[in-house]
A and B are shown apart, each in its own frame.
Chain A
Amino acid sequence: MAMLAEAAVAGLLVVAGVFGLVGSYGLLKLPDLMTRLHAPTKATTLGVGGVLIASMIHFAVFEGHLSFHELLITLFLFLTAPITAHFIAKAWLHRNARAADLPPPGGAKGWATFEAAPDDHRRSDPAAPPKHEA
């Protein structure tokens, strides 16, 4: 049993390390931000998730107390990773893309990214998309 647990912990740690490294290497290697957003998700889910599961097994078998902190951290990361990715993608669109280059969103409203605040003067250049008027 202890041998099996040791093998499981070691395997999970190796897998987690490889995925963490692959995620950060992808962040360095991929060509632009929208593709780069893809790479760190590997580090978040499989990398940190593997380390957390390894730590759960390790503490349950070798230290003799089962703890659920790890599940909390995993849950928190799984909840927040899409939100941060969405925010970063939206900020990148806001700064680097023009609405004319994007496909129509297909609704009554325009792209929410370009709906600037009323006193926002940074996007007042002529190439900017028309402001959304309700």
Chain B
Amino acid sequence: MIGYALMFAFACFGVALLLNLWRIAAGPGVADRVLALDTMVINAIALLILYGILEGTSVYFEASMLFAMTGFVSTVAYARFMLRGDIIE
């Protein structure tokens, strides 16, 4: 039962990543693209944890934690750059 549910969740988050990629390609503004990138990081975190469940190891939690931190910092840096034209003034 968990196997099927895992496959379903993998498919859902994979399609979600593709939809985010579409938004990045089509997004009318920079802010839309940054938002799509942020959502992509979220979906990638979910995929990493799902892979951790599939493999039965807890190695992927550290990876997803790092992913979450990098995603947050990069989104804030992008937003800073859009706001001020500079990241560290």
Chain A residues close to B by CB (< 8 Å): 6-7, 9-11, 13-14, 16-18, 20-21, 23-25, 27-28, 33, 36-37, 40, 43-44, 47-48, 51-52, 54-55, 58-59, 62-63, 65, 67, 69-70, 72-73, 76-77, 80, 83-84, 87-88, 90-92, 94-96, 113, 116-117, 120, 122
Q: How many A-B residue pairs have CB under 8 A?
A: 170
Tell me whether A90 and B83 are in contact in the complex, defined as CB-CB below 8 angstroms, given that A13-B2, A73-B68 are known contacts: yes
A20-B12, A33-B29 provided; 13 other pairs, C-beta below 8 A?
Answer: A6-B1, A6-B2, A10-B2, A13-B5, A14-B9, A20-B9, A24-B15, A69-B58, A83-B72, A87-B76, A87-B83, A96-B31, A117-B89
**A112 smallest CB distance to B (angstroms):** 10
Main secondary structure of the interface of B (DSSP, over half): helix
Inter-chain contact A83/B76, CB cutoff 8 Å: yes
B residues with a Cβ closer than 8 A to A are 1-2, 4-6, 8-13, 15-17, 19-20, 22-23, 29-32, 34-36, 38-39, 42-43, 45-46, 49-50, 52-53, 56, 58, 61-62, 64-65, 68-69, 72, 75-76, 79-80, 82-86, 89
